[in-house]
């Protein structure tokens, strides 16, 4: 199939011969041409074109130790990755930032632990200059693998490793989940609600835990019956809402840990004849516009700028890659917590 099989590709050597110069000169021209006289450079460029020369990246990487590619590792099953708009937004932010610095984004999906080994090999094998890892669950080994292999890494979301020293040296980007949750609950209190429930995310994820913690910050004496765990899907939100109504029929406010779960909860409230926000006020989290603006009624929620977080992750990594940054100690840059903001629509 190859028009010009890789095996027959011209090398620097060939170009040099053709242009009647040394390999070094060709290399200089190919890499920008600094310090090569105009006419000579022109001759070299002509030879490059005639031969259709394309530099061999493996050879280049071998000496420069750079390959202009950054891996984005998503440790989630494809199904989740492709359904949750969260990833789409994050990837877009990353993609933009990397493209701006002429780095190629390489997406690695690792559904099960079975893939971990191969992905780990890929990362440590030097195919990429660094990695952005989404390690949403507590038990993920990939960041550790990358770390041990000396692959600069930035994590999406707060990592959960117990060792404080390890944590301090790990770069991550997260939003102020806890503070945002507090704002959500305060909004409900300000509306005069006194029986406020929480639909939490899966409690093996730091984001869920932090949002629950924020909820408790404001409502420390909450009854356990007013908290139900969901799974970040609409169905999970609906089921949690049903459980809450059963246990606490008199509730008048709900803080859901995601807009998607809130949409499921709204459906149940409507089916049960509760008016929103009159009978029950609802606040979501994320401000996933494609969801929050289209629920009935539109959702009051806590906004986090997901695309911006993606961009920041890429920025942080690119920065850490600079030779100037401390090679072995505490990184010159530090982790980032982005702010959240209450967005008032009709549901609370």
Partner DNA sequence: TTGAAAGCGCTAACAC
Partner DNA sequence: GTGTTAGCGCTTTCAA
Residues lying near a second copy in the complex (CB under 8 A) are found at: 1-7, 9, 52, 54-59, 61-62, 65, 67, 69, 78-79, 81-83, 85, 87-88, 91-92, 95, 99, 102, 104-109, 111, 114-115, 118-119, 122, 124-127, 147-153, 169-171, 320, 327-328, 331
- Residue 28 binding target from DNA, a second copy, none, CB below 5 to 8 Å by type: DNA
Q: At what angle do helices 38-51 and 23-30 cross, to 10 degrees?
A: 90
- Residue 141 binding target from DNA, a second copy, none, CB below 5 to 8 Å by type: none
Q: For residues 22 and 56, which CB has a smaller minimum distance to a second copy in the complex?
A: 56
Q: For residues 22 and 290, which CB has a smaller minimum distance to a second copy in the complex?
A: 290
d(CA 24, CA 296): 67
- Residue 21 binding target from a second copy, DNA, none, CB below 5 to 8 Å by type: DNA
- Among residues 1, 2, 5, 63, the one that binds DNA under rule CB under 7 A: 63
11 binds DNA (CB under 7 A): yes
50 binds DNA (CB under 7 A): no
d(CA 160, CA 169): 13
Q: For the range 192-196, what are the long-range contacts, defined as Cβ-Cβ under 8 Å and sequence gap of 24 or more?
A: 193/252, 193/253, 193/281, 194/252, 194/253, 195/226, 195/248, 195/250, 195/251, 195/252, 195/253, 196/222, 196/226, 196/251, 196/252, 196/253, 196/254, 196/255
Judge whether 220 and 248 are in contact, CB under 8 Å: no
Q: Enumerate binding residues for DNA (CB under 7 A).
A: 9, 11-13, 20-25, 27-28, 30-31, 35-37, 40-41, 53, 55-56, 59-60, 62-64
């Amino acid at each position: 199939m190859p028009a010009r099989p890789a095996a027959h590709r011209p090398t620097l050597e060939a170009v040099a011969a053709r242009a009647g110069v040394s390999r070094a000169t060709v290399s200089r021209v190919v890499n920008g041409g600094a310090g090569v006289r105009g006419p000579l450079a022109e001759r070299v460029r002509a030879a490059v074109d005639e031969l259709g020369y394309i530099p061999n990246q493996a050879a280049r990487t071998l000496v420069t130790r750079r390959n202009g590619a950054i891996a984005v590792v998503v440790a989630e099953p494809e199904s989740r990755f492709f359904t949750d708009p969260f990833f789409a937004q994050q990837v877009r932010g990353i993609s933009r930032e990397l493209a701006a610095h002429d780095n190629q984004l390489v997406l690695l999906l690792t559904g099960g632990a079975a893939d971990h080994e191969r992905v780990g090999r890929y990362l440590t094998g030097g195919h990429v200059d660094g990695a952005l890892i989404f390690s949403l669950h507590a038990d993920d080994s990939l960041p550790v693998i990358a770390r041990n292999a000396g692959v600069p890494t930035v994590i999406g979301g707060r990592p959960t490793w117990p060792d404080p020293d390890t944590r301090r040296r790990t770069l991550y980007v997260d939003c102020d989940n806890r503070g945002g949750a507090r704002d959500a609950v305060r909004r409900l209190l300000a509306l005069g609600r006194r029986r406020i429930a929480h639909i939490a995310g899966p409690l093996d994820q730091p984001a869920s835990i932090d949002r629950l913690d924020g909820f408790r910050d404001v409502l420390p004496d909450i009854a356990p019956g007013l908290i139900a765990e969901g799974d970040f899907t609409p169905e999970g939100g609906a089921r949690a809402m049903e459980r809450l109504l059963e246990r606490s029929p008199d509730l008048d406010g709900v803080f859901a840990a995601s807009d998607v779960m809130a949409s499921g909860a709204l459906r149940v409230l409507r089916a049960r004849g509760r008016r929103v926000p009159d009978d029950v006020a609802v606040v979501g989290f994320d401000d996933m516009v494609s969801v929050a603006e289209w629920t009935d009624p539109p959702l009051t929620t806590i906004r986090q700028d997901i695309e911006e977080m993606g961009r920041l992750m890429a920025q942080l990594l690119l920065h850490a890659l600079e030779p100037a940054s401390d090679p072995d100690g505490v990184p010159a840059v530090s982790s980032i917590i982005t702010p959240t903001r209450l967005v008032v629509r009709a549901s609370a």
